[in-house]
Amino acid sequence: MHKVLLIGAGSICPTHIAAFEGLDGRAKVVGIVANHRASAQKAIDTAGLDATAYTDYKQAIEASGCDIVAVLTPPDTHREITVWALEHGCHVLVEKPMAPSLEECDAMIEAAARTGHKLQVVAQSRCLTPIWRTKQLLQSGIAGKLLYTQVNSFWWRGRSYYDLAWRGSWATEGGGCTFVHAVHHIDLLAWMAGMPTQVTAVLGNVAHTNSEEEDLSMAMLRFANGSFAQLSANLVCHGQKQSLTFACEKATLEIPHAFSADTPLENGFPRENTALLAELNAAYEAIPPLRYEGHAGLADNLLRAIDEGAPLLIDGQQGRNTLELIMAIYQSAAEQRTVTLPIGPDSPFYTRAGVAEKMPHFYKKTGFLSKFEHDTIVLASANMK
């Protein structure tokens, strides 16, 4: 049985507890770390765990006997904790975004390679059966070549969202809606359509006057194979309707799940291709559903990677790809030009300090609450089925 230590007792903590504890006895949460011991103990008591509350993650890693560490803290702490855990004999599951900078991602990837331990980045939407099936259909070629992808990462947050001390600051949060919220959909874009070669973007802050960061961004992406993508992310869309649309030669595949297929009439106008639609739906249903979904799917994949040598669903390099695409959006918007990937150490957008210096600071950060009394969350995966 694998012993798991959770570092961070915030709103995502119960999700990770349920994920690891729900794997048929293959893993057990043995400790939770929080700045305030009472917060860690509350998470333990609420879940009914036989575990220990800690306030120091280094002491917890050494005392708990854990072999897996889940890093659930704000992004600016991810590198420090991840590298320490890897160097002290633990495999690591780190919440997204992987880190606030490519430099920090590379340090985490290097530590994993040097120590031989597993490093997995959270991207729970990959572990949803409808998304998994759509990915397999895209790869199969049944819909033809991918021509265009539309990504709508629409969220809504009130002004008080940025009253939490670490949010709304380039130095600590690392970015606004593109970095924190659209990361789910940008990961799916990079996973399903590949990495672009060029990015052109704009961004702004239209509604959150207590945040330095953006609450809206729009980007156009060009791919080496000739396809294009359009990405919109914001925190001002009521209803939070999120979607990905993959327009292929023969059909369009959508998330949430929907298919469309047309064939041309003599005048070029469309007529529904009922035969292809039936073939698509049959192929979709023939793909076996995932046994574990969401965070549980990632936890299961990590355990199978450790025990059986299975490939990680999202390793450090894939986590870095997502951040590189985000940094390309930021660089393009800040410098008002098209950016060519990859982004390397010679770019000011490679480091956290460079990003904080180059990005516009839309408003002065004003809220500094340590935590909210009621901190329930809605996962992106809830909107993507």
**Region for residue 197 given its phi and psi (left: phi exceeds 0; alpha: psi -120 to 50; beta: otherwise):** alpha
What is the CB neighbour count within 10 angstroms for residue 129? 16
229 — phi, psi (to 5°)? Answer: -145, 155
What is the CB neighbour count within 10 angstroms for residue 93? 29
Q: Tell me: the pLDDT tens digits for 230-266?
A: 999 999 999 999 999 999 999 999 999 999 999 999 9
Question: pLDDT at position 384, please?
Answer: 67
User: What's the predicted TM-score (pTM) here?
Assistant: 0.93
Residue among 125, 119, 98 nearest 294 (CA): 125
pLDDT band at residue 367, thresholds of 50, 70 and 90? confident
Superfamily of domain 2-124+293-313: NAD(P)-binding Rossmann-like Domain (3.40.50.720)
Q: Which distant-in-sequence residues (6+ apart) come within 8 Å of 307 by Cβ?
A: none
pLDDT band at residue 365, thresholds of 50, 70 and 90? very high
Q: Tell me: the pLDDT tens digits for 264-318?
A: 999 999 999 999 999 999 999 999 999 999 999 999 999 999 999 999 999 999 9
Q: Which distant-in-sequence residues (6+ apart) come within 8 Å of 226 by Cβ?
A: none
| Contact (CB, 8 A) for 385 and 256 | yes
| Contact (CB, 8 A) for 357 and 101 | no
Tokens of 318: 């894939």
Question: What architecture is the 126-290+320-383 domain classified under in CATH?
Answer: 2-Layer Sandwich (3.30)
| Contact (CB, 8 A) for 202 and 122 | no
Find how far residue 361's CA is from the centre of its chain.
24
Q: Which residues make up the CATH 3.30.360.10 domain(s) of the chain?
A: 126-290+320-383
- pLDDT greater than 60 at residue 222: yes
| Distance, CA of 79 to CA of 206 (rounded, Å) | 31
CA distances from 264 to 144, 249, 258, 261, 268 (A): 16, 12, 20, 10, 5
pLDDT band at residue 378, thresholds of 50, 70 and 90? low
Q: Residue type at 248?
A: C
Q: Which residues make up the CATH 3.40.50.720 domain(s) of the chain?
A: 2-124+293-313
Mean pLDDT rounded to a whole number for the chain: 95
